[in-house]
Structure 1
């Protein structure tokens, strides 16, 4: 990677503060459009990392200024998807996640990029309408599925028999997962809360598909949380049942649970 490109993508990137200074991402994209992202997979991976951070912590207008590039990101994702080795597949999946993130926040503008909301704000996002909550839960499942797919793909690309976190390659691949963990924490929390709302209003049979998707994603989150633990602290017992405020939320970096205890309704 050329030195001028490395400076632009250094961490933490000064472009985050720049978006707040100029109240948008025009300068960011004017620089990105000159980078050889289609010819350098490592550079593209670092771009995805920075852009993900911008969507989370940059100015709120970053999303508006970036939506116009969705098609370019999709084309680049398809292009990198043809490479089965190295960073090709990683870039392809990360670009799909970023497009999904942009689409979710465009459709649900009440959700900030970092996904931090109070219970009252979550109710307002669904306008206290069960139909809106139903659709919002589906969109969150899709969002979380993309996050988990990236997480799993990164770990499957690493040689887990070695201490990959201390190597330059390992650090490069693992660094973006901090943002993924933060997103997963909030999405898991909100899907639990929305499922309780839905079960209080709709028949259990109507929500069977929702419960199936939730259980699958819960198990994936639990397995990933086990991977993140030191080997001597990993769970020796069977996989736990999902519960409201389960410790998995803390494993994924979310402080505190949902505030109540109990297992999700099974119908």
Structure 2
């Protein structure tokens, strides 16, 4: 742990005092950025928490509101030990939120909801230490961590849904407060309440992306009926997040600060491989914060600051190192995103190729079945024609036989009909034999 100098201590203290002021205005990003840089330089998170809790959090609601926003930004962008250290202060955060929850002016409900979100975020990172505070991670790292254990995906999906529920709850309280008092997004009062929405969008966007990929993963491994609860919950969250983004997008306050992600009109169909192949992760872009000014007020220092050239140069080097690390992190995130897009493109192409091959096979099968059916119909028709021809020939032959028989009978001697009964029978039998022999010949 790097020991903090007097200059850095007073700089940190002044940044916190100016950030958590009692004015009904948004948190100043330059003060928040100065605090975050100090956490990376000194790595002494306990001092940060000590100075934060020395502010009148229980006396002024706007100080408490900015405290929640500042803590959220520190957890997202600060040194990684911030999350571990703040785990021990979850009770204090909840008590502060409960204290202001009784206030019936809209801000109190926002503070209580925000404090609950901070505790949920701390619990989430405690259970899923793989994910950084910013929640920006390549999904392949989650796959390597899970090692094909479907239970890990199942539980992580539930915890992400819980996280998103709290984000939706906070933004709904903020918009309710704004609409109830008819505040403009360009007024200091409106911006004071709306400012944390940027951080909420920065959290919700990667959570949504991870949840979509996990849902496709689960549907690829488990039957649909087992995941009906997950699908219903995701569909509900999808439309709430979409409405959240649609409510933020037209506000003038965010026009130059944030590029709000765009979600599709309908939720993804997790049973369709085509939907997974065509899935495009939403992106959010925030304008970089201003560089922090010199926040030291020499008039309040109780002891002189020793100007040590070596120390100042060392601090400058540390700051430059931090900025370089931050740029490297951004570059790595961009490279990871490019690799993810390439992987998705290859997978999408493979899926489409397989789908085309499947359809071609189905077409060939249908053509074969049709040809077989046509051949069968032709054989049946031919057999039917042959039967009809044979029947016609039999009928013609019978008619000829009947005509010949009549001719022979007409030629028999008439005197035979005048004989006695016994002789007539004999002649009749003889005539029948003669007739039979004649027809056979």
- Whether the aligned pair in 1 keeps the contact of 2:106 and 2:176 (CA below 8 Å) is no
Alpha-carbon separation, structure 1, partners of 2:285 and 2:95: 33
Residues 80-135 of structure 1: per-residue CA shift (max 9 Å, x gap): 22223231001000000000000000111000000000021121343431001100
How many equivalent pairs are there? 252
Name 1:63's counterpart in structure 2.
Answer: 83
Gaps in structure 2 of 5+ consecutive residues: 1-13, 21-27, 252-263, 269-275, 287-333, 352-441
User: Relative to 1, partners in 2 of residues 1:4 and 1:136: Cα closer, same or farther, differing over 3 Å?
Assistant: closer
Q: Secondary structure at the match of 1:249?
A: coil
Residues 35-58 of structure 1: per-residue CA shift (max 9 Å, x gap): 111221100110111110000000
Equivalent residues in 2 for 1:21-60, closer than 5 Å = 21-60=41-80
1:225 to 234, 237, 245: 245
Q: Judge which range, 210-219 or 146-155, deviates more.
A: 146-155
- Whether the aligned pair in 2 keeps the contact of 1:185 and 1:253 (CA below 8 Å) is no
1:7 to 8, 18, 32: 18
Alpha-carbon separation, structure 2, partners of 1:125 and 1:143: 20
Verify: 1:94 aligned to 2:119, yes or no: no
Alpha-carbon separation, structure 2, partners of 1:212 and 1:253: 29
Name 1:241's counterpart in structure 2.
Answer: 266
User: Relative to 1, partners in 2 of residues 1:136 and 1:4: Cα closer, same or farther, differing over 3 Å?
Assistant: closer
Residues 158-214 of structure 1: per-residue CA shift (max 9 Å, x gap): 138967221001111111111100111000000000001111111111111110110
Q: Secondary structure at the match of 1:132?
A: helix
Q: Secondary structure at the match of 2:95?
A: helix
Q: Secondary structure at the match of 1:158?
A: helix
User: Relative to 1, partners in 2 of residues 1:161 and 1:93: Cα closer, same or farther, differing over 3 Å?
Assistant: closer
1:144 to 164, 167, 188: 164
Larger radius of gyration: 2
Q: Secondary structure at the match of 2:119?
A: helix
User: Relative to 1, partners in 2 of residues 1:162 and 1:33: Cα closer, same or farther, differing over 3 Å?
Assistant: closer
User: Relative to 1, partners in 2 of residues 1:120 and 1:248: Cα closer, same or farther, differing over 3 Å?
Assistant: closer
Name 2:140's counterpart in structure 1.
Answer: 120
Alpha-carbon separation, structure 1, partners of 2:18 and 2:133: 25
What TM-score do you get using the length of structure 1 for normalisation? 0.85
Alpha-carbon separation, structure 2, partners of 1:84 and 1:249: 37
Gaps in structure 1 of 5+ consecutive residues: 232-238, 263-267
Q: Secondary structure at the match of 2:229?
A: helix
More helix by share: 2
